[in-house]
Amino acid sequence: MSETTLGGIAGRMPKFIRRADPAVLTAFACIVLLLFLGSLYSRSFLSPEYLLQQLKVASFLGVIATGMMLVILLGQIDLSVPWSVAAGAMMACAAAAYGPVGVVLAIPFGIFCGVLIGIVNGIGVAYLRIPSMIITLATNAVAQGLMVVYTGGFSPQDSATGAMRYLATGFAIPGVPNAVIIWALIGAAMVFVLTRAGFGRTVYGIGNRERAAYLSGVDTRRVVMIAFAVSGGLSAFGGVLLAGYASKAAQSMGDAYLLPSIAAVVLGGTSILGGRGSYLGTVAGVILITLLQSILSVMQMPEAGRQIIYGVVIVAMLLLYGRAPASR
Amino acid sequence: MKDWRYWLAEQRGTLLALGIFIVMFIIYTSNHPAGFTANVVQTAANKGVLLAFVAMAQTLVVITAGIDLSVGMIFLLTNCLASWLVVGTPMQTTLGVIAVLAVGLLCGAINGAIVIYGRLQPIVATIATGAVYYGIGLLLRPFPGGSVNEDLADAMTGRVFDVVPASLVVLFGIVLVIWVPFSRSVLGRAAYAAGSSETAAYMSGVPIRRGKFAAYTLAGLLAAIGGLFLTFFTYTGDAAYASGNAYTLFSIAAVVLGGVSLFGGKGSAIGAIFGALAFRTIGDLLFVFDFDPLWQPLFQGVILLIAVSLGAFALFRVRNRLEWFL
């Protein structure tokens, strides 16, 4: 099935195909397969309204996965996503309670809190040389503790501001949800940074071999720190959008985004060891994960079954093309 | 000559963890309203032992320079399973315990197979398998409930000769039966060697794959023992996502406090046990000083952050700046 699909596209766009990563093509093939399976289950699956709705849901994950990708390209990982998302959302909602100034500053303040978490991660990874997996888990725990203390153990009563709701659910261009536009803008910026800007090249360089990048005169530690700050900020922005979508912030709202954001990046062909991967793959991964979630919920699969299928699909796809070379 | 100095250097991390634990425990009991009584020790031991088992599990994997982010979920899954199986007559209960331990072994073996023979990165692979284990646990127990053989549970959480907490005795037994033989066997040496330098170990013909596989599998078993004990303490099975995540997180904190190097090849499960006991005691210090329990997550997070930042002191020993980037 995927062979014939690939052949068909290759016939039309040979140059695009020749440069494409097999992992990205596999991810897109899986998207087509999922759409096909979904359409067998329900006719409305291929309707434009439904697909647009999926794209809108995907854009929240897309924003978060963009930051995750930047960090994974460095060969690091950001496990502080759950509470960066929650902190961004909760702090933005909290700021809105402080009068008109608070309402205006709500979104920037939420993002700022995420950037702060990211900077702590970045200092730990880049300057203190603590493994990213460990320090991000620790900052995640600290962020959780801060939020629990702040809210007194309950979800905050503050609801999202009008601007947040507009960003997440409004339509600036008729027919295209704002969330999708935001994801497109952030994605375009990311593509520009990764492929055209010096910063992006150093990110790939550090991901391949940090020593080599350092010896080439790159201030690798600063680059790593900025990447973590951006990742934290984007996670928090994702949280702000989610709060706008649900019109309020909740404590555990970020839990559902850690595994999907890593999975989307890795399924999109970005090497977990760093230094290799394209944003197109991440887009494919995000859409793939969102469609998978959507089909499972349309089938009324309970949470337990969803988690199992999720884990199995991720392991299976990684076994297909995410394996490390054999030691010899 | 000077054998004891080598021993001291080797055990420095473990002894440091023991020291931290003793100091913290003295502060804890001396401020506890009931003081240093068998009851206080028993409660503290029961809480600490849960984390100690999970931390031992994490140690085995961390020694191979890997990480197991699914230990907390194996712990939950076996807790849910035990709340179904460890009931009834002594015979049924025994079979139930064996079944629960076997499931733990299987979970660990699956992790090991995926990481070693599937050649996937431990972080991503164990996050994904953790989701699967959590899903199965949730299938078993969509709502908290179930029961356990209360005679066994009370025996395991009670006191031996009215003085020593039974859970500590079991912990000691498990160390003797699992950790000591493993760390002295060829497989255990292979796990250490793989963590220290996988290429060198491979070149020297050390059975690194079997060693790592044994480490992951035994980690599953130890997490399952932890899950059994959780059932003994709570009498119920509960697939609480936050609790599984917290145990995974705390196991890493305990391992770090226990002097096990996260880069692999260094440390011991005994250190991790003291690390776990110390971490639990520090977390409970808040209660004896009458702080609002709301502050506990933040307090534990900060301890974790400080514990992992301690590793940064190694930077002062770096002679060449290139050693920053390993």
> Do the Cβ atoms of B153 and B232 come closer than 8 Å?
yes
Regarding predicted confidence, which is higher, B289 or B121?
B121
CB pair distance less than 8 Å for B135 and A134: no
Q: For position A8, what pLDDT does the model report?
A: 47
What class has domain B3-324?
A: mainly alpha
For the stretch B211-262, pLDDT in tens is 999 999 999 999 999 999 899 888 888 888 888 888 888 898 888 888 888 8
Report how far residue B173's alpha carbon sits from residue B61's, in angstroms, rounded to the nearest whole number.
21
Q: In this prediction, what percent of chain A has a pLDDT beyond 70?
A: 90
Q: What's the pLDDT at A203?
A: 92
CB contact under 8 A, B297 and A130: no
Q: Strand, helix or coil at A20? A: coil
Q: Do B300 and A259 touch (CB under 8 A)?
A: no
Q: What are the b/e assignments for B33-64, b being 16+ CB within 10 Å?
A: eeeeeeebbbbbbbbbbbbbbbbbbbbbbbbb
User: Over the range B218-245, which residues count as b (16 or more CB within 10 Å of their CB) and which as e?
Assistant: bbbbbbbbbbbbbbbbbebbbbebeebb
**CB-CB: which of B118, B241, B300 is closest to A141?**
B300
**In this complex, do B131 and A273 lie within 8 Å of one another by their Cβ atoms?**
no
B-chain CB neighbours of A303 within 8 Å are 135, 138
Count of CB atoms situated within 10 Å of the CB of A243: 32
By Cβ distance, the residue of A128, A152, A262 closest to B124 is: A262
How far A128 CA lies from chain B's nearest CA (Å)? 5
Q: For the purposes of burial, counting CB atoms within 10 Å of the CB of A216, is it exposed (0-12), middle (13-18) or buried (19 or more)?
A: exposed
Give the Cβ contact number of residue B160 at 10 Å: 13
* Closest residue on chain B to A220 (Cα): B325
Which is more confidently placed, B121 or B104? B104
Kindly report the nearest CA distance between residue A132 and chain B, in angstroms.
11
Residues 28 through 57 of chain A touching chain B, CB cutoff 8 Å: none
ipTM value: 0.81
**Can you say how many angstroms the Cα of residue B295 is from the centroid of all Cα atoms in its chain?**
24
A-interface mutation test, from B120, B241, B260, most A Cβ less than 10 A away: B120
Instruction: Report residue B210 CA to chain centroid gap.
Output: 21
Packed helices A132-151 and B241-257: angle between N→C axes, nearest 10 degrees: 130
- Res A240: pLDDT: 92
Confidence (pLDDT) at A9: 46
Residue A13 pLDDT: 55
What is the residue extent of each domain of chain B? 3-324
Give the separation between CA B286 and CA B299, rounded to whole angstroms: 8
Q: How far apart are CA A235 and CA A61, in angstroms?
A: 9
The chain-wide mean pLDDT, for chain B, equals 85
Residue B93: what residue type? T
Inspect the interface and report whether the beta carbons of B325 and A145 lie closer than 8 Å: no
Spell out the residues 6+ positions from residue B107 whose beta carbon is closer than 8 angstroms to its own: B70, B74, B77, B129, B133, B220, B223, B224
CB atoms closer than 10 angstroms to residue A278: 21
Q: Which residue has the tokens 């700046």?
A: B321
pLDDT single digits (tens) B144-169: 887 787 778 777 777 777 778 888 88
3-state class (DSSP) for residue A74? coil
Residues 153-182 of A with CB under 8 A from B: 153
A124 touches chain B (CB under 8 A): yes
Chain A residues closer than 8 Å to B286 by CB:
none
Any idea how long chain A is?
Answer: 328
Instruction: Specify the pLDDT at position A5.
Output: 47
* The token pair that represents B135 in the structure block: 């899903």
B28 burial (CB, 10 Å; 0-12 / 13-18 / 19+) is: buried
- Would you tell me which residues 252-271 of chain A have a C-beta closer than 8 angstroms to some C-beta of chain B? 252, 255, 258-259, 262-263, 266
Strand-pairing partners, residue B1, are none
Give the model confidence (pLDDT) of B45-98 as tens digits: 888 899 999 999 999 999 998 889 899 999 999 999 988 888 888 888 889 899
Asked if B128 lies within 8 A of A133 by C-beta distance, the reply is: no
Best of A121, A129, A209 to disrupt the B interface by mutation (most B CBs within 10 Å)? A129
Question: Smallest Cβ distance to A327: which of B121, B198, B297?
Answer: B198
Q: How far from chain centre, in Å, is Cα B251? A: 5
Q: Is A176 helix (H, G, I), strand (E, B) or coil?
A: strand
* C-alpha distance from B159 to closest chain A C-alpha (Å): 34
Separation in Å, CA of B205 to nearest CA in chain A: 12
Q: How many CB pairs under 8 A join A and B?
A: 166
- Extract the runs of DSSP E, i.e. beta strands, from chain B: 159-160, 164-165
* Chain-chain contact of A304 with B325 (C-beta, under 8 angstroms): no
Of residues A142, A302, A303, nearest to B298 (C-beta): A142
**Position B106 pLDDT exceeds 90:** yes
pLDDT (tens digit, 9 = 90+) per residue, B254-271?
Answer: 888 888 888 888 888 888
Minimum Cα–Cα distance from A76: chain B residue: B123
Using CA coordinates, name the residue in chain A closest to B240.
Answer: A304
Side-chain half-sphere CA neighbours of B78 within 13 A: 33
pLDDT of residue A118: 95
pLDDT digits (tens, 9 = 90+) for B13-30: 788 888 888 888 888 877
The listed CATH number (2.30.38, 1.10.150, 1.20.120, 1.10.3470) that belongs to domain A26-35+50-320: 1.10.3470
CA dist A103 and A99 (Å) reads 6
In the structure encoding, which two tokens stand for residue B236, read together?
Answer: 């119920």
**Residues 6 or more apart whose Cβ sits within 8 Å of residue B201:** B190, B193, B194, B208
Instruction: Show residues of chain B in contact with A259, CB under 8 Å.
Output: 127-128, 131
Given a cut of 60, whether residue B272 has pLDDT beyond it is yes
Residue type, A65: A
Q: Is the dihedral of CA A198, A133, A229, A83 positive or negative?
A: positive
Per-residue pLDDT at B137 exceeds 70: yes
In the 8-state DSSP scheme, what is residue A173?
A: B
Chain B nearest CA to A135, separation (Å): 7
pLDDT number for residue A21: 72
| Residue with token string 């210090």 | B285
With contacts defined as CB-CB under 8 Å, which chain A residues touch B120? 315, 318-319, 322-324
Instruction: Identify the three-state secondary structure at position B164.
Output: strand
> Which residues of chain A are under the pLDDT cut of 50?
1-11
Name the CA dihedral angle for A296, A300, A303, A307, rounded to a multiple of 10 degrees: -20
Whether chain B has a CB inside 8 Å of the CB on A272: the answer is: yes
Buried b or exposed e, range A110-136, using 16+ CB within 10 angstroms: bbbbbbbbbbbbbbbbbebbbbbbbbb
Q: Find, in chain A, the residue whose alpha carbon is nearest to that of B122.
A: A272
Name the one residue in this structure whose structure tokens are 């440069």: A19
Q: What share of chain B is helix, strand, coil (3-state, %, to 5)?
A: 80, 0, 20
